[in-house]
Structure formats: C-alpha cells, structure tokens
Amino acid sequence: MNAIIDSIGVYLPEKKIDNHYFEQFLETTDEWIVSRTGINTRYYSSETEYTSDLCVKAAQNLADNYQKNLADVDFVIVATSTPEQSFPSMASQVQSRLGIPNAGCMDISAGCAGFAYGLIVAKGLIATGDYQKVLVIGGETLSKISDFTDRTSCVLFGDGAGAVLVESSETQYLHKSISTTNGDLGKDLYLSNQPAPINFEQIDYNGKIHQNGRTVFKWAVSNLPANIIKLAEKNGITTDQIDWMIPHSANIRILEAACSQMNFPIEKCLESVVNYGNTSAASIPIAWYNGIQNGKVQLDDKLMLAGFGSGLTLAGIYLTN
C-alpha cells in the first residue's frame, strides 16, 4: 500500500522567551545567541503544561485545519525526548485524550531525528496493508529538562509540537528513506537520571540536558549534507530537483554550512529555529507548517526532510506526489 500526507497541524505554547531573558541570570548576550545560533525567540510551556498536552493540541489543530476525522486513526506515533513519564507512552495519552478507539500506540526515542523516524515507521506500517491512518506527532517540552546554569545549551531550546496524518492512498507520497547512527557519540548529547555510564564513560545524571555542542555541531555539519546527497541518489534525483529541504532546525549555522557544502540555496531551506529555537522532534513539522502557511510550500512540491540529534542519529525521507 502507498501512503500520502495532506494534512498538518502545530501547537506552540503561549510564553514567548527572548534572548534578553537569559541575560538576567547567565553571562550571555542577545548578540552572542543570535550570531552563534540564529535564534531570536523560543516558546516555553507553562508549569502545568506537558508534552502530551502540546501533542494533543497539534493533532486537534491538524483536524481543524483540514477537516480530518481522527476517530478512525489506527496507529499513533509520538516522537519525543521529553515524555512526562517513561511509561505509559505519550502516544497512548494522546489516543485517550483524542478519544481514538483501538489504535496501536508507541513512542519513538530518537532525539531531534524522531519525527523523520516516525514517518519512516508510518510508511512501513501502511505498506503492510494492516494500517490505513497513522498519526505521527513530534512534541517536546525541552524547557523542562534544560539546565539553566549551562549557557552553552539552555539558550538553544524551545517547546512545541507538530502533527501529520499519514494515510493509505493510490499514489506514493513517502519515498525512500535513510537512517544512520554513531552510538559512540551517545555521551555527547544525553539526559540521565541514574549513574549508569554511556559507552563506559561516567556521566552526570541530574535529569538535565548535557551536550558537547562542538562535537554535535561538527558531526551534524559533516553528516547532514552527505546523507541528504545519498538520500537524493537513492531516490534517483539530484539535490537541485528538491523544492524544499526541511532539516532539523538546531542552529542556523548548521543549516548554512550544510547548504553551502551541497551547493543548495539556503532560500530553499525551511527552518523554525529563528523564532522557536531548537524544538527537537517538533522542529521539522513546525518549519513545514509555516512553509505552507506563508505560501511557500505547495502540495505537489518535492520535499527532503532530515532530522539529526541524540544518538547521535540521523534520519531522512523524500516526499512528493
């Protein structure tokens, strides 16, 4: 069975945080954050607002925008690094609160690559013929796990959620995908609540994000363009045939470096990092949604999605009608 995506929704919490906020308690400046990351603002969930709340609202936004009935969704996938509980899954919380009866439910833990992994899994589920409607959501409340004493990481992150409905169809919209991981670099981007080491290395288990920014940056800049080129080849196209590239929005400099290496115009790259920060698994659907809202992305455009993050892992998929 083939699969199509023709609906998308997002949700962003109300509390807008600009860079001056961090100047109050950290040795940092708006100028440093903008020049090193491109980020101007991000949104934070309230104390009583959690990842499942954001995911439910993104799915409701999708249903409202596209008059989609979610009652017959037969599988729910939530990609997140910030579930409010380790179990039950966020997907099962979403299923319950949206009143979807009898759907399969599971979460994906693949950091900022989670949404792309979600699409790959949804495509596979539909290809079996066993499922017809798979709701894929990327949702995060990274502000709740940010270390506000660490100026090298807390300034980067924001909260948000984005959802798409992957439905069985006559034509194939979800084409070939790619995924790759270097687990040796797990220790360079992690969150832990217990003393178990990662790759035999002692780690700080305070339940906050730990990131070796330079390592992640270098890994992303060399792996993102190489894998996008590989994915294009796998799909029998060259990168100049792509209408819009939607990479994970971690840092505008990563996107600029990746585009420059591929000789791909940065104007054809959709981002969400400038206004929303790094929203991890939500960054790709937020950029995609905004691209549609501001009239850039058309239904028949050729899209190349690629997420990368904690693992370190990367996943991408090519979409077109």
Amino acid at 171: T
Which of 214, 241, 266, 293 binds ligand ACO (CB under 6 A)? It is: 214
State the nearest-atom distance from the C-beta of 190 to ligand ACO, in Å. 9
Interface with ligand ACO includes 90 (CB under 6 A)? no
Amino acid at 246: I
State the nearest-atom distance from the C-beta of 216 to ligand ACO, in Å. 4
Please tell me the count of residues contacting ligand ACO according to CB under 6 A: 24
CA atoms of 139 and 161, how far apart (whole Å) = 4
Interface with ligand ACO includes 88 (CB under 6 A)? no
Interface with ligand ACO includes 309 (CB under 6 A)? yes
CB of 290 closer than 8 Å to CB of 269: no
State the nearest-atom distance from the C-beta of 171 to ligand ACO, in Å. 33
Question: What are the residue numbers of the active site?
Answer: 112, 248, 278
Interface with ligand ACO includes 141 (CB under 6 A)? no
Interface with ligand ACO includes 143 (CB under 6 A)? no
**Full DSSP string of 34-69:** HHHH---EEEE--TT--HHHHHHHHHHHHHHHHT--
Nearer to ligand ACO, 53 or 188 (CB): 188
Alpha helices in the chain (DSSP H): 20-23, 30-37, 51-66, 90-98, 114-127, 213-234, 252-262, 273-276, 283-293
Interface with ligand ACO includes 232 (CB under 6 A)? no
Which of 69, 58, 64, 70 shows the shortest CA–CA distance to 115? 58
Residue 266 CB partners (closer than 8 Å, separation 6+) = 255, 256, 259, 260
Which of 21, 41, 205, 217 binds ligand ACO (CB under 6 A)? It is: 217
- Please list the residues that pair with 133 across neighbouring strands: 167
Interface with ligand ACO includes 151 (CB under 6 A)? yes
Interface with ligand ACO includes 111 (CB under 6 A)? yes
Which tokens hold the place of 223?
């792996």
Count other C-beta atoms under 10 Å from residue 83's C-beta: 22
Q: Interface residues for ligand ACO in 26-45 (CB under 6 A)?
A: 28, 32-33, 36-37
Which of 141, 280, 290, 320 binds ligand ACO (CB under 6 A)? It is: 280
Tell me if residue 126 falls in helix, strand or coil: helix
Stretch that binds ligand ACO, among 40-48, 193-201, 212-220, 259-267 (CB under 6 A): 212-220
Which of 289, 308, 254 shows the shortest CA–CA distance to 270? 289
Classify residue 265 as exposed, middle or buried by CB count within 10 Å of its CB (0-12, 13-18, 19+).
Answer: exposed
Interface with ligand ACO includes 320 (CB under 6 A)? no
Stretch that binds ligand ACO, among 123-131, 148-156, 170-178, 222-230 (CB under 6 A): 148-156
Rounded to the nearest 10 degrees, the angle between the axes of helix 252-262 and helix 30-37 is: 30
Stretch that binds ligand ACO, among 53-61, 116-124, 171-179, 214-222 (CB under 6 A): 214-222
Site string for ligand ACO, 171-210 (x = CB under 6 A): ------------------x---------------------
Give contact residues for ligand ACO (rule: CB under 6 A). Answer: 28, 32-33, 36-37, 81, 111-112, 151-152, 155, 189, 211, 213-214, 216-217, 220, 250-251, 278, 280, 309-310
